[in-house]
A and B are shown apart, each in its own frame.
Chain A
């Protein structure tokens, strides 16, 4: 059955959209990621305008991050001070990102920006993950556990404006968390992602936060950023499709539960290896679309 999306201004099969939400929800439950980096390209491949896909995916990530955040909150594993400081940067980044987004949209380059930024980011992240998980898989097979302690980053401790983060047992400058929040805010607005795959490594390797508070704190930060992005996209670009979002969220909520259950049967490095392959597959598909001559050199937009 077809349903009309009021903002995307097109008819879609709601079963297909629900299935996409379910599939991405399953993968995000399985891999412990928000899934924005999969959902946006998937919606674009299906024919949803990339502006609407990016803006609407943000609200999907808000919803899918809530249950994880609540679970971490019950375990008291959230550093709200750190999340708050990062969000200060995140608000600014999101505002800048939404402004860039509007600029690119007017120039008719939104599709290019979305494809290009995804291709670059996914290739990088996928490559790094594939390499890391491959080494871990080989190590697990030979029974040889490699020491992987992150290198120390002394320069961070030399920065001014230090602040005490009790939960993380850190006394560091607020500049790095604000910068990380800002960068993720920009990416969230342009790409429709939560940015977990950037925040989590940054928290562990750059800020050196204890692992037990990283997940909860990053989820709070992601919820804050994607909620801001949704609000800003709605007010400045009119690009949030509430009907599309509702169907995606409904599918995603169910899919995530099955994903979590499936994830319990796999080992960490196996999961990361599969996720890396998935990320690279999406990146290759996007690069393919950019370099292969288009079937039609002209495209048409109605209205002003």
Chain B
């Protein structure tokens, strides 16, 4: 009560003097419909809902919301085929580390209408601005980075949806975020940005965990934790199945 009263007093004094007085009094509150997604064997993609509310003194005019769901960092290895002795082979490669394994962005408007590129890049907003932490390559990396972004877009692992954030009321907004089958498991970040007049005014971040469960996960772990036992099991399985089929189909003598 005290805090709000004082803030209100301050604003009353400052407001007439500052053009962007809304900066201090609009706050973001956001959440995710699910903070843990478990991928099972028959998982073929689902949606999560990111929702939020703009609290405090309202200034709806010129307000934009950007929702970013960012997957765990990974290394993208991009290979380029070239013709060598008449045969197309992987010739050049670049390793781009620190790239998100998944990136989904929804916004109220196209990004170019929300803020200048430099501002967006500072907050890691937008696919075009995604830059690797470190690069391992022999040549100019930019064509490889562009190819990586394009291939991730093709695979549906990077996506931008302008207009994907909708306001349900003056303050309440929501965005549907697809979680396709085949996404990397791990810790995701759900980031919500409030932008106005080309500036990011407020941001909030929520973690989201995607985990793979079930028999497939156990088999994967087994194959990597005890490769000898796993390999032996594969051999025994083959021998037993081969033997069973020969007994089963044996012609009556």
CB of A7 closer than 8 Å to a CB of B: yes
Bound together, the chains give a CA A291 to CA B144 distance in angstroms of 23
Known: A59-B234, A293-B88. A66 touches B220 (CB 8 A): no
List, in ascending order, chain A residues with CB within 8 A of B237's CB. Answer: 59, 242, 245-246, 249
A interface majority secondary structure: helix
Are A65 and B242 in touch, CB under 8 angstroms?
Answer: yes
Interface 1/0 per residue, A1-39 and B, CB below 8 Å: 111111101110000000000000000000000000000
Q: Which chain B residue shows the least CB distance to A223?
A: B239
Are B230 and A63 in touch, CB under 8 angstroms?
Answer: no
CB of B151 closer than 8 Å to a CB of A: yes
Tell me, rounded to whole Å, the shortest Cβ–Cβ distance linking B60 to chain A.
41
List, in ascending order, chain A residues with CB within 8 A of B83's CB. Answer: 293
Tell me, rounded to whole Å, the shortest Cβ–Cβ distance linking B195 to chain A.
31
CB of B233 closer than 8 Å to a CB of A: yes
Q: How large is the interface on A (under 10, 10 to 19, 20 to 34, 35 or more residues)?
A: 35 or more
Q: How large is the interface on B (under 10, 10 to 19, 20 to 34, 35 or more residues)?
A: 35 or more
List, in ascending order, chain A residues with CB within 8 A of B231's CB. Answer: 230-235, 240
Which single member of B41, B43, B242, B246 contacts A62 (CB below 8 Å)?
Answer: B242
Highest count of chain B CB atoms <10 Å: which of A71, A291, A297: A297
CB of A257 closer than 8 Å to a CB of B: yes
Which single member of B76, B232, B234 contacts A301 (CB below 8 Å)?
Answer: B76
CB of A253 closer than 8 Å to a CB of B: yes
Are B90 and A71 in touch, CB under 8 angstroms?
Answer: no
When A and B form their complex, which 6 residue pairs have the shortest distance between CB atoms, in order from nearest?
A234-B231, A66-B242, A67-B246, A253-B245, A63-B242, A298-B147
CB of B223 closer than 8 Å to a CB of A: yes
Are A249 and B79 in touch, CB under 8 angstroms?
Answer: no
Tell me, rounded to whole Å, the shortest Cβ–Cβ distance linking A72 to chain B.
11
Are B238 and A234 in touch, CB under 8 angstroms?
Answer: no
Highest count of chain B CB atoms <10 Å: which of A65, A242, A243: A242
